[in-house]
Structure 1
Amino acid sequence: MTEEASEIVLSKQELRKVTAFAAACAETVLEIFEADQPDDSRPRDAISAAWAFTRGGERGKTLRDTAAAALKAAKGAHTVAGREAAWAAMSAAGAAYLHPLAKATQVKHILGAGAYAARALEIVADDSSAGDEHLKQMVHHATPVVIDVLKRFPAAPAGGGRVGELIRTLDTHLRTSAQ
């Protein structure tokens, strides 16, 4: 017997706030990808599409296409840090597609961009404290709406390597920051 997840009500305005948070997280490491691939605008385009959605744009083809293009850009990155930065951009555009299902896996739509950005910074600095510091900064950028939406979902799931660990750390910080 498979347990079905209950549905969470999400407004378009809440999705816009979650996407703005993700775009802000990803934007902080865009230069890491651009140093790796200076002629590749796909991650920048994904972040721009995310920002356009936050300003009232539609959740449609442009977001999907730019997220997919940023994913392809990640595959072409020469460095691991560049790849992680491109994944942050892909996650920013993908944040608009947070599914209204009460599943822990959906937390990655909210926090993935922040975790990938933190990982990119760790790699560049060759120091895990750089990622932890980035997460602390992102906690201060999360609006009450983002925290409220996050709290409607179960805690982030186990697994996912270092990025999964960063997602769980950010998840814990955000859930406890408003208490």
Structure 2
Amino acid sequence: MPTTPGKTDRPDRIELTEDELREITGYAADCASRALPLFEQSVAADARPREAVDAARAFADGGRRTQALRRCGFAAFRAAREAGSPVAADAARAASHAAGAAFLHPLADAHQVKHILGAAAHAARAAELAAAEDPAVAAAALAWARGRAPAAVTVVLGRLPVAPPGGGRVGGFIRELDSALRA
């Protein structure tokens, strides 16, 4: 029987099972992995984003949710801040979000939507930037992410308020995905 890290009757919290966390994290890792080559083309010697995606996959495949996983997510975030290009930065942010998805909180808070869809949105932005800001490239990446979203993504999104405003282009991608996956 799956554990329930977030099962509750409180109105400010949602039910969230470990199986759902694993499925969401696997989805985030799949989305982020599509952007890894964009980071590695720019910063080949920096393994932090790949390590974050690998750690997310390990959790999704049944591994433990550990401090090492959390550290990998933070390391990928630091790689994004240190990246020499916006493309590499968004690719590393996608990896950071993949590792962070394992730590989704069972809060009925719109900001939790970012934890579910952030990897997909940053991967789409990295692809768009790499293609000289071609919106068709971002649209294709978002369509891929919509088509690959497992049931847990749509089920858990349905327990949360809609994605919040703001966040620039990536925030727009999150809201677009959120809306499409709830439809």
Q: TM-score, normalised by structure 1?
A: 0.94
Aligned runs of 1:85-100 on 2, under 5 Å? 85-100=91-106
Of residues 72, 82, 105 in structure 1, which corresponds to 2:88? 82
- Alignment-derived partner of residue 37 in structure 1: 43
In the alignment, structure 1 residue 175 sits paired with structure 2 residue 145:
no
Following the alignment from structure 1 to structure 2, what is the Cα–Cα distance between the partners of residues 5 and 57? 30
Of residues 79, 84, 92 in structure 2, which corresponds to 1:73? 79
What per-residue deviation string (whole Å, max 9, x for no partner) do you get for residues 85-141 of structure 1? 000000000001111010101000000000000000110112122111111111110
Shift of 1:5: 6.2
Of residues 9, 28, 31 in structure 2, which corresponds to 1:25? 31
- Alignment-derived partner of residue 15 in structure 1: 21
- Alignment-derived partner of residue 63 in structure 1: 69
Following the alignment from structure 1 to structure 2, what is the Cα–Cα distance between the partners of residues 62 and 132? 34
What per-residue deviation string (whole Å, max 9, x for no partner) do you get for residues 22-45 of structure 1? 000000010000001000100000
What per-residue deviation string (whole Å, max 9, x for no partner) do you get for residues 140-163 of structure 1? 101112211111111100000000
Of residues 135, 148, 157 in structure 2, which corresponds to 1:141? 148
Identity %: 49
In the alignment, structure 1 residue 48 sits paired with structure 2 residue 54:
yes
Of residues 153, 157, 164 in structure 1, which corresponds to 2:164? 157
What per-residue deviation string (whole Å, max 9, x for no partner) do you get for residues 156-177 of structure 1? 000000000000001111111x
Contact 1:16 1:54 in 2 (8 A): yes
Following the alignment from structure 1 to structure 2, what is the Cα–Cα distance between the partners of residues 163 and 133? 15
- Alignment-derived partner of residue 111 in structure 1: 117
Unmatched tracts of structure 2, length 5 or more: 1-9
Aligned length: 173
Shift of 1:59: 1.0
- Counterpart of 1:137, as a letter, is W
Contact 1:5 1:101 in 2 (8 A): no
Q: TM-score, normalised by structure 2?
A: 0.92
Following the alignment from structure 2 to structure 1, what is the Cα–Cα distance between the partners of residues 68 and 11? 29
